[in-house]
A and B are shown apart, each in its own frame.
Chain A
Amino acid sequence: MADILKSEQSPSTVEHIETEKGVDQPFLDATELILNMGPQHPSTHGVLRVILKLDGEKVLNAECVIGYLHRGVEKIAENRTYTMFNPYVDRMDYVAAVSNGLGYCEAVEKLLNIEAPPRAQWVRTILTELNRIASHQLWLGTHALDIGAITPLFYTFRDREEILKIFEKYCGARLTTHAFRIGGCQYETYDGFEQDVKKFCDFVTPKVDEYETLLTTNRIWLERTKGVGILRAQDCIDLGVTGPVLRASGVKWDLRKAQPYAAYKNFEFEIPTGQNGDTYDRYIVRIAEMRQALRIIRQAADSIPEGPIMGKVPKVMKPPVGEVYHSIEAPKGELGYFVVSDGSTQPYRVRVRPPSFVNLAALSKMVEGALVADVVAVIGTLDIVLGEVDR
């Protein structure tokens, strides 16, 4: 495989030119042009507006305008009880609702100083990893579609459907699942849950290889992604970028390993990393992550412990005065919840640290000096969900 890649590989044709930073010039040069991309543009994955300053095809400067989907989730939290706020978090990163729920439930559990029973931890891990695959599949399909490859979209959506069917069978909802409760899970697994999950793993393993046959050595794909939107490891750390984007730059860091939560410390898996930090490496890392997720699911499905699925939690939740920050590795990066309690039934403040928001801040650095067409590729590769950026 490596040999094929080498022979197909061509040096990047994109020259990264130096641009003046931080200078707001009121008048444009005769060759410069301001182009407004979005907010209603299919490749911006929602309602993101990017103001591009161009010199011909080259991007001199890019500025993101966000907030079109702002719903005030953090304000809503202050006016709801801990339990009532739980379904709202699903509406942030709506393609990975299970991860959002896990982060919130664990943060509040920490504040209450309780822990979910082992059986719940296992079920949570399985569902979250299934959701990671679903999120990566949706990303892959839409990202490839942006770049011009239509077929992967049909492949990934066909397979993602199987995950959504498992969610539907488990909790009745497909997208905004509200699968977890503070203290465990609401529902016991249905008969044949383990078999369904294992059957899905067997079904999807060859499909991931199939995606690779479409793209990994595809000449057009390589031309469009190699050397595009490079982020060096140090830049990633400075900019606070996390998730697959950070790992594609060669930083071997994953919260599931660094600070394990749920049942992750019981399973064997690897952290895939890239070297160049370009769009292609981020694709490779996400594909490898799908395989690792399948590995985790297989191990977890084989060893779900017996016992209660819901822990003992008070009917009226009144966490003692205090504050906690808890974060998990969502499909897009570090998703953190900072919850402050004043001892009442409603949180005094819930702060969500969204991975998409922080990763999106890196966009202008990544596209500086690139071509207009690459902006589309870079937005896709960051894997942002505007529901989470704007909250």
Chain B
Amino acid sequence: MVTRLRNRYGSGIDPKTYLGQNYIIADVSVVGELLQVMRDEEQFDYCVDVTAVHYPQRKGQEFDVVWVLYSFPRNERVRVKTMIKDGDPAPSVVELWASANWLERECYDMFGIRFEGHPDLRRILLPDGWQGFPLRKEYGITQQDNEWVKINLGIESGR
């Protein structure tokens, strides 16, 4: 699989293994197409998880977006990872795997990453009017949207 993908994308992808787990670091320009190929040609028919990791000190590549894929026919798991800049969109895979719908919404809710092509990108766990994205590193653990709390709950602080 690795050689097939290598032939197609050359230096756009970087397959790696850590502690027996395979993952592919792909350039953001090819990652959408790569995920399509993973599903259609490499039989990765189950999208387990879509998530992100925030690295604020990595200027220009603040976010890792991670797709965990699994293949029922091959009984194999692989992670696809790409790095994007804060504010840049990531490709949505809802068209490929319906399971990504809520997972991408959660990712947007927590990190503010926009998924281009998502049919209904709204907050899912936090209330719709909430300001801020809690899983970003600069968001404090006790921080909250005071204004929202005041207006909607009628109290000074949620704590």
Q: Which residues of B contact A390 (CB under 8 A)?
A: 125
Task: Given contact pairs A74-B135, A239-B98, enumerate 11 new A-B contacts (beta carbons under 8 Å).
Answer: A72-B141, A113-B19, A237-B45, A253-B72, A322-B19, A325-B79, A336-B68, A357-B106, A358-B102, A358-B103, A361-B101
Contact A338 B49 (CB under 8 A): yes
Question: How far, in whole Å, are A342 and B51 apart by their CA atoms in the complex?
Answer: 17
Asked if residues B79 and A67 are in contact (CB atoms below 8 Å), the reply is no
What 0/1 readout, one digit per residue, does chain A (230-267) give for beta carbons within 8 Å of chain B? 00000001111100000000010100001100000000
Query: B77 contacts which of A238, A239, A253, A325 (Cβ < 8 Å)?
Result: A325
Contact B127 A258 (CB under 8 A): no
* Least Cβ–Cβ distance between B139 and chain A, in angstroms: 8
- Asked, given contacts A259-B75, A353-B49, whether A238 binds B98 with beta carbons under 8 Å apart, the answer is yes
Shortest distance between the CB of A177 and any CB in chain B (Å): 26
Chain A contact residue count (CB 8 A cutoff):
41
Contact of B66 among A22, A251, A327, A338 (CB under 8 A): A338
A-B contacts, 27 listed (Cβ < 8 Å): A22-B119, A67-B124, A67-B126, A67-B127, A70-B125, A70-B126, A74-B135, A75-B134, A238-B97, A238-B98, A239-B99, A240-B46, A241-B99, A259-B75, A322-B19, A323-B18, A324-B21, A325-B49, A334-B48, A338-B49, A338-B51, A349-B135, A353-B68, A357-B106, A358-B103, A361-B102, A390-B125
Q: In chain A, what residue has the closest Cβ to B51?
A: A351
Query: How far in angstroms is the closest Cβ of chain A from B107?
Result: 10
Q: Is B110 an interface residue (CB 8 A)?
A: yes
In angstroms, Cα B125 to Cα A353, docked, is 14
B53 CB-CB contact with A under 8 Å: yes
Q: CA of A171 to CA of B127 in the docked complex: distance in angstroms?
A: 38
With both beta carbons as reference points, the residue of chain A lying nearest to B101 in the complex is identified as: A361
CB distance A361 to B99 under 8 Å?
Answer: yes
Contact between A258 and B75, CB atoms less than 8 A apart: yes
Cross-chain contact B46 with A66 (CB below 8 angstroms): no
Per the bound structure, the CA–CA distance linking A22 and B72 in Å amounts to 30
Complex Cα distance A324/B53, Å? 13
Q: Which of A260-298 contact B (CB under 8 A)?
A: none
Interface centre among A66, A240, A361 (most CB of B within 10 A): A240
* Contact A324:B18 (CB < 8 A) given known A67-B124, A240-B47, A336-B48: yes
| Distance in angstroms between the alpha carbons of A391 and B51 in the assembled complex | 15
Query: Do the beta carbons of B68 and A67 come within 8 Å of each other?
Result: no
A110 at the interface (CB under 8 A from B): yes
Given A67-B124, A338-B51, A361-B99, verify A75-B19 contact (CB < 8 Å).
no
B125 near A111 with CB under 8 A, answer no
Smallest beta-carbon distance A332→chain B, Å: 15
In the complex, how many angstroms separate the beta carbon of A34 from the nearest chain B beta carbon?
Answer: 17
Give Cα distance in the complex from A343 to B67, angstroms.
23
B contact residues, range: 20 to 34
Chain B residues contacting A334 (CB-CB under 8 Å) are 48
Q: Decide yes or no whether A122 CB sits under 8 A from chain B.
A: no
In the bound assembly, the distance between CA atoms of A232 and B99 in angstroms comes to 15
Whether B124 contacts A349 by the Cβ 8 Å rule is no
Q: Quick one: which of A88-131 are within 8 Å of B by CB?
A: 110-111, 113
Q: Which of B61-90 contact A (CB under 8 A)?
A: 66, 68, 72, 75, 77, 79
Interface assignment of A76: CB less than 8 Å from any CB of chain B: yes
CB < 8 Å: which of A67, A110, A240 contacts B99?
A: A240
Chain B residues positioned under 8 Å from A241 (CB to CB): 99
Contact of B18 among A259, A322, A327, A353 (CB under 8 A): A322
CA distance A376 to B101 in the complex (A): 23
Pairwise interchain contact A75-B135, C-beta atoms closer than 8 A: yes
Residues of A within 8 A of B135 (CB): 74-75, 349
Contact string against A for B residues 88-126, beta-carbon threshold 8 Å, 1 for contact and 0 otherwise? 000000000111011100100010000000010000111
Closest to B102 in A: A361
Decide if A74 touches B75 in the complex (CB within 8 Å): no
* Interface of chain B residues 116 through 159 with chain A (CB within 8 A): 119, 124-127, 134-135, 139, 141
Check A338 against B68 for contact (C-beta < 8 Å): yes
In the complex, A167 has a CB within 8 A of chain B:
no
The answer for the CA separation of A357 and B51 in the assembled complex, in Å, is 14
Docked Cα-Cα span, A238 to B100, in Å, equals: 9
Q: Which of A238, A325, A358 is the one whose CB lies under 8 Å from B21? A: A325
A351 and B139 CA atoms in complex are apart in Å by 17
Q: Compute how far the CA of A103 lies from the CA of B72 in the bound complex, rounded to whole angstroms.
A: 21
The answer to whether A240 and B134 have CB atoms under 8 Å apart is no
